[in-house]
Amino acid sequence: MQLGTRWTVGAEPPASVPGDLRELIAAVEAERADASGHWTLTWLEGRPIAELDDGTRVTLAGVVPPQSADDSDDEW
């Protein structure tokens, strides 16, 4: 079992964050200088996922921007 963790945007990610993911997180932070809040690292089926408070997700497959309310697939 792998436990997740949280850290502040701009701070050094914890040692449990894989190197490849660290690079992607650093790229997001560099691209979004206005980013603030915290990252949360979780594990899904053994794969790391880092999520920023605004919903931006970073996985080893790439970066997924947050969805806005207008991007919802709900057709009510």
The answer as to whether 33 is a domain residue is yes
Question: For the chain, how many structural domains are there in total?
Answer: 1
Instruction: Say if residues 53 and 6 touch (Cβ distance below 8 Å).
Output: no
The answer as to whether 71 is a domain residue is no
The answer as to whether 61 is a domain residue is yes
The secondary structure of the chain in percent helix, strand, coil, rounded to multiples of 5, reads 20, 30, 50
Beta strand 47-52 with 57-59: parallel, antiparallel or unpaired? Answer: antiparallel
The answer as to whether 72 is a domain residue is no
Q: What is the pLDDT of residue 13?
A: 96
The answer as to whether 54 is a domain residue is yes
* Residue ranges for the chain with pLDDT beneath 70: 1, 68-76
The answer as to whether 73 is a domain residue is no
Burial degree of 25 (CB within 10 A; 0-12, 13-18, 19+) = buried
Q: pTM for the complete prediction?
A: 0.81
Phi then psi for residue 58, to 5 deg, are: -120, 125
The answer as to whether 75 is a domain residue is no
The domain of 11 spans: 5-65
The answer as to whether 74 is a domain residue is no
